[in-house]
Amino acid sequence: MDEKRPQQAPGPERRGSGRARGWPRWGVWVVLGLLTSVLLFSSMLPNESSEDVTYDQFLDDVAAGTVTDILIDNQTGRIDFHLADGTGFTTTGPLELSPDDRTLLADSRAAVEFNTPEPGFLQTWLPLLLPVGLIILFFWWINRRAQGQMGSMMSIGRSRAKTYSSERPGTTFDDVAGYTGVKQEIREVVDFLKDTERFAEIGARVPKGILLVGPPGTGKTLIARAVAGEAGVPFLSVTGSDFMEMFVGVGASRVRDLFESARKMGKAIIFIDEIDSIGRKRGAGLGGGHDEREQTLNQMLSEMDGFESSEGIVMMAATNRPDILDPALLRPGRFDRQVVVPLPELEDRREILAVHVKGKRMDDDVDLGVVARGTPGMSGADLSNLVNEAALVAVREGDDTVHAEHFEVARDRILMGQKRESMALTDAEKEAIAYHEAGHALCAAVLPTADPLHKVTIIPSGMALGVTMQLPEEERHLYRQDYIEDTLVVRMGGRIAEQMVFGVFSTGASNDLVGATELARKMVREWGMSEQIGPMAWDGQNHVFLGDDLMTSRDYSDETARVIDEEVQRILADQEARCRDLLAENRNALDLVARALLEHETIDGTEVDRLVALAGAGQVAEPGDSPVEDRSPVD
């Protein structure tokens, strides 16, 4: 019985083993050069060893008659001679002997021989062959470089998609925390790739393309990898920017190569991340669109029409900007289905936190349900960052485990920014900031539909000199008009508080005014919350492409625009009046909250509620009192 020999992994020892364990390429040339040098210089060295003497000593020995034989080199002036006792000596004389020296040699009894040595093979040809060899070596290296560049030029039109086999990725739906509805919506794609025949028998057609739409950080790419892992088919992953290159036609060529590679695999999933980089509306913007990008999009549209759903190829894409995609890309037959991947709900956030806390030391006081309830609006990436920030805070404070207070500090760091405790503020500035934040906090604590107050601080954080944080008790999907109006009052609270106490306005309310104006404009233009305008709505005119506003006309008259501006101004003025009346009615509470902020710099929402109740009972805190010490709940 034949046994299958186990295949060794192409580790570092096997891959390129000859080169790894042998000499490098340049080592061969070094050895050849050394051998050539040895051969060249060895031919120039004398064959036998002898003692060097001076030329005068040589002449004395000749005159004394003790020299038996003399060998003179006409080229170098080297003289080799032997004495009567057989010892040999070497000296160097002039190339042209003087007449006296010639007479002395002629009169001596020594055998004199003049020798002109002929150069050897290496001495003759090496000076000629060495430059020629170097030139040949240079042109050979240039040719190799040119071949490599031509190879890269020829492969520039190939797809840059990363291909993962059926063994990779190993991500499944179990690795995607939460999003039960999203996973259920795309599970039939997995069933189709696993059992194509069952769908073909009944005549069902699975969508050719699925577009994952959602805010950044919600896990769209992770869900696509989980689909490939569940189906057990090859997964080709590429980003939209990989199709674009400086050469014309490269994008379309890469699209063709991508789909050809998928067809060779039989069943496969093509995933294009950030498809909006190549799928934008054609001809949009000032001066038209980008021709190369549009040709790439045209090729993709034709390729998606070129394969049948029965081929087992499913295309998935992800984007957070579906509003700028070309309509031809979204029509049925291409991307038939759009799957919205929203920000996680409360239960989804708890499950996501449970995934990210694995491998981290959590203390028993950490309740993931409480952490999830205090992080509305955070995506999966934000929650991962929150857990990591909490662990960093624990390490910074020298704790062995992550406590609940570390999550509190990490959340404040993410939502409010890094505290700038070293920022120097004058006493007058601190007092103005304290009354500003106290105005926000008081309105949030008193108004019935406003989000509950979580924390107030006058420590500069991020770009703000002070922060008032509100956290909703539950997820909101529908916003009523009274809630929006109370939100406007809360935004006006800081500005009105400064004006009531100091008699002047400051620049500290600039961000509040921007947010309030934008909110009031949406109430009038988009949500129909103006009796003067009535049930009419216009878009926000947030043009995505430069020059779009030049190609579109305004769908309302100048008179309507004037009415819209008047209504926005009226709404802001009405809510400002409400805010002024509210703060005037609770002026004692405003002073208490501001004094507490000046003394403690940071207080929580429970303490603000206690101070408001204390002021409502007619009590006034004296300077130096610590109203934060008693934190018992107020009935």
pLDDT digits (tens, 9 = 90+) for 100-139: 888 888 878 788 887 777 666 666 676 777 788 778 878 7
**DSSP symbol at 598:** H
- Residue 457: strand pairing partners: 467, 602
Closest CA to 579 of 481, 496, 484: 496
H/E stretch holding 270 reads strand 268-273
Q: Evaluate if residue 546 carries a pLDDT over 80.
A: no
Digit-coded pLDDT (tens) for 251-269: 777 777 788 887 787 777 8
User: Radius of gyration of the chain from Cα atoms?
Assistant: 44
Contacts of 474 (CB under 8 A, 6+ apart): 346
Comparing 48-57, 542-551, 559-568, 610-619, the range with the smallest average pLDDT is 542-551
Instruction: Map tokens 């920000």 to a residue.
Output: 343
Catalytic one of 437, 485, 567, 576: 437
Query: Does the annotation count 437 as an active-site position?
Result: yes
- CA pair distance 446, 438, nearest whole angstrom: 12
What pLDDT, on a 0 to 100 scale, did the predictor assign at position 490? 93
What pLDDT, on a 0 to 100 scale, did the predictor assign at position 42? 56
What pLDDT, on a 0 to 100 scale, did the predictor assign at position 223? 83
Other CB atoms within 10 A of residue 270 CB: 25
Comparing 103-112, 147-156, 301-310, 343-352, the range with the smallest average pLDDT is 147-156
Note the CATH architecture for domain 346-416: Orthogonal Bundle (1.10)
Answer whether CATH 3.40.50.300 is correct for domain 51-117. Answer: no
pLDDT confidence tier of residue 5, bands split at 50, 70 and 90: very low
Closest CA to 114 of 101, 128, 100, 127: 101
What backbone phi and psi angles, to 5 degrees, belong to 259? Answer: -70, -35
Q: Decide: 162 and 221 in contact? Cβ < 8 Å.
A: no
What pLDDT, on a 0 to 100 scale, did the predictor assign at position 21? 46
3-state secondary structure 120-135: CHHHHHHHHHHHHHHH
**What SS3 state is found at 374?**
coil
- The mean predicted confidence, pLDDT, of the chain is 76
**DSSP symbol at 163:** E
**DSSP symbol at 42:** H
Strand ranges inside 478-610, DSSP E:
602-604
What pLDDT, on a 0 to 100 scale, did the predictor assign at position 260? 80
Q: Could you tell me which residue, 338 or 152, shows the higher pLDDT? A: 338
Q: Evaluate if residue 288 carries a pLDDT over 50.
A: no
Quickly name the fold that domain 162-340 has.
Answer: Rossmann fold (3.40.50)
pTM of the model: 0.62
Q: Evaluate if residue 309 carries a pLDDT over 70.
A: no
Q: Decide: 266 and 530 in contact? Cβ < 8 Å.
A: no
Strands 268-273 and 313-319: parallel
Q: Decide: 227 and 332 in contact? Cβ < 8 Å.
A: no
What pLDDT, on a 0 to 100 scale, did the predictor assign at position 222? 83
Contacts of 616 (CB under 8 A, 6+ apart): 586, 589
- CA pair distance 480, 494, nearest whole angstrom: 23
- CA pair distance 166, 228, nearest whole angstrom: 8
Closest CA to 346 of 472, 214, 493, 186: 472
- CA pair distance 498, 504, nearest whole angstrom: 7
Strands 235-239 and 268-273: parallel
Digit-coded pLDDT (tens) for 569-595: 999 999 999 999 999 999 899 999 999
**DSSP symbol at 418:** -
Note the CATH architecture for domain 427-616: Up-down Bundle (1.20)
pLDDT confidence tier of residue 566, bands split at 50, 70 and 90: very high
- CA pair distance 534, 532, nearest whole angstrom: 6
Tell me the domain boundaries of the chain.
Answer: 51-117, 122-154, 162-340, 346-416, 427-616
pLDDT confidence tier of residue 493, bands split at 50, 70 and 90: very high
| Identity of the amino acid at 248 | V
